[in-house]
Chains A and B, each alone.
Chain A
Amino acid sequence: GLFAHLEMLECRAHRESVEREEKEQREEKLALLECRARELRLQRDELREKLERLEKGGGAGKAGMAPDPTPRDVLEWRLRSLQALLQLFHLTGISGKLSRRGVCFTLSTAFGNSHLDSFHLELLLHPQLRIHRHSIPPFIPLERISREFLPRDLRRFLSVLSQHLNGYAGRKFQLEQLQEHFSDRIKGIPRQNSLCNLLTFEYGLSGKSRNFPLRARLLYRDPCRSLPTDVEVSCASDAPAWLADTAAAHSELFRLLPLHGAFQAFPTA
């Protein structure tokens, strides 16, 4: 019925807002967890040393060691380490799950501390590894990458594809950040293409003046990188000398920093 449906939608909306809150809390936790990871690594190193020492002096003191593990212990240990491995891979941005027909991979993208879109692939396993369906945008050269690496090398296929997706997501994110925080310094909307690997825009030095004397052209030759390879910042030929110097300095900044970072780093005029 209609009301049941509306109630269900209401429940869902409520759940989603709760999830959002929880997500924010999780992000705070992340910093703490990173600290903890460092502690654990130290602990692991200590235990390793301890083990080496025991093994070296092992001939003498077998009696002091723990009894042989039972098969159940071994199974539990295997399960735990598999779960840890899966969690580890999930953190790298490439995770997988067996599906009815084959296996589904999720490629998550990120830039800096921001989690960006996720993309999915379903692969069939018989007779050969091949793509059944996916949610990869059409301007990513999926066909070319799959022809090069599948069916032999699944690992490299996923790695290269993930790099392409991360490169694209990173470039798009920088552009969005630029438009969000520095729209007053840019004339109109930057000109881009679907892959965000060629960007041109005119910009000014401060938000107050209404003129945009500098023109930037950023070319990203490497589709897997989110920093440009070729940068040209130019100004009108009759511009003062200090403007030309500024253009050169900015050009360097664009090469080294992400877009919005470069804008932030501009020395104020």
Chain B
Amino acid sequence: MDETVAEYIRRTVLKIPRDEIKVMLEKWGFLSEAQLQTLNFHQIKDNISQEVVQLCEENSADIKQAAVLDIIYNHIYHNKRMWSVYQMRKTGEELEYFDLTDFKKKFKRRLRSALKNVTITFKEYEDNAIWIRVAWGTPHRRPNQYKPSYVVYHSQTPYVFISASVLKSNLPLLCQALLVASNYHDIREMELRSHSLNSLKDIVFKRYSQNFPTYCPKPLQEKNVEPESVDLRIVQENRSEKERIQRLNQEIFGHGPLPTLEFAHYRLETMFKSDPKMDVLDKKEPFRCLVKFSSPHLLESLKSLAPAGMADAPLSPLLTCIPQKARNYFRIREKKGLFPESFVSP
């Protein structure tokens, strides 16, 4: 077995928390049951990883199998990476049946025709997610396995989720291979980024709970019944205001859990508005500034702003439109004041 492969497997196993190593090796399925039994999972990770490498040596693992283990790790710990969403466009209207083998073949062929030194690995998951791992090299160097790019694609959708490696120069090539393999013509980056891949999927696949008024033949049962306090001396002064805020919040944010986003960026290119007599700025040019909201769970915290009394309800549509417009990067300009979009093909 190649030394570099051995080292790569060793380092990948070291990344895994000790309690998860056994489960992940089972998912990997490269080591047999008998081999897994021989491993002692209670020793320090260094030793565990050495033993795993030895077992892989017995099975003559190569980089392909090691790459699959890496995908499995990143699939479970996808929150450790930053994901961007890309949207593809096609002009033809034929119904596709999406043949997976065809997709993989076209993708590999396109990529390899441009760059000989790449490692391409696929793994399909039950929810129709196709994970693609690409390790990039140059004409003179072997692929760097420690800085791969990951692509997640759901068949028959126009969305691709990419966690690019630091080597941004390979991105156009990756995009082109995706277009060819999936039969689309155009791809652009959406202004939507997060660590939580599932939340990004929820937003673009419209899987999060939105509030739609629906026709109900039977009268709706009461929602949000606050337990009445027995003591009649305690009266809620702002009851109607609280109810109004609750109602607005439900209309805007819905009932269920919201997708997890960590930040929203607003790049302002608006004029500084001051008293004309005071003339703060010499030149009449836009005052550039960047407003960034961060939170472990941005949408939940926005939802709780009004009930907590920190903001007036309804909140600014600039904040509440985030899931519906599927973006968390905004550029606010003077005249229109709203969000410009540009579609550029690579």
Contact = CB atoms under 8 A, between A and B. Distances in A.
A8 B226 contact: yes
Interface string A161-192: 00000000000000000000000000001011
Given A136-B206, A139-B156, A193-B155, A120 B212 contact: yes
A99 interface: yes
B35 interface: no
Interface in A181-228: 189, 191-195, 197-198, 219, 221, 223
A135 B97 contact: no
Contacts of B159: 138
B274 interface: no
A93 B226 CA distance: 34
A255 to B, nearest CB: 17
B158 A198 contact: no
B12 interface: no
B59 interface: no
Nearest to A26: B218
A133 to B, nearest CB: 5
B: interface residue count bin: 20 to 34
A138 B205 contact: yes
B206 A135 contact: yes
B333 to A, nearest CB: 23
Nearest to B99: A198
Given A8-B225, A8-B226, A90-B217, A192 B212 contact: no
A4 B206 contact: no
Interface in B125-159: 126, 128, 154-159
A96 B215 contact: yes
B270 interface: no
Contact of B157 (A95, A106, A194): A194
A138 B210 CA distance: 16
Given A138-B158, A138-B159, A219 B226 contact: no
Contacts of B155: 139, 193-195
Contact of B97 (A7, A96, A122, A198): A198
Contacts of B93: 141, 144
B224 interface: yes
Interface in B209-227: 210, 212-215, 217, 221, 224-227
A97 B215 contact: yes
Contact of B156 (A4, A15, A193): A193
A68 B213 CA distance: 39
Of B157, B204, B215, most A-chain CB atoms within 10 Å:
B215
B25 to A, nearest CB: 20
A86 interface: yes
A11 B324 contact: no
Contact of B224 (A8, A95, A192): A8
B156 A133 contact: no
A146 to B, nearest CB: 13
Nearest to B201: A138
A96 B215 CA distance: 6
A98 B215 CA distance: 9
Interface string A1-41: 00010011001000100010000000000000000000000
Given A95-B215, A138-B159, 20 more contacts: A11-B225, A15-B221, A86-B215, A87-B217, A90-B215, A90-B217, A106-B212, A120-B210, A135-B210, A137-B206, A138-B157, A138-B205, A189-B126, A191-B100, A193-B97, A193-B100, A194-B154, A194-B155, A195-B156, A223-B95
Interface of A: 4, 7-8, 11, 15, 19, 86-87, 90, 95-99, 104, 106, 118, 120, 122, 133-139, 141, 144, 189, 191-195, 197-198, 219, 221, 223
Interface of B: 93, 95, 97-100, 126, 128, 154-159, 204-206, 210, 212-215, 217, 221, 224-227, 324
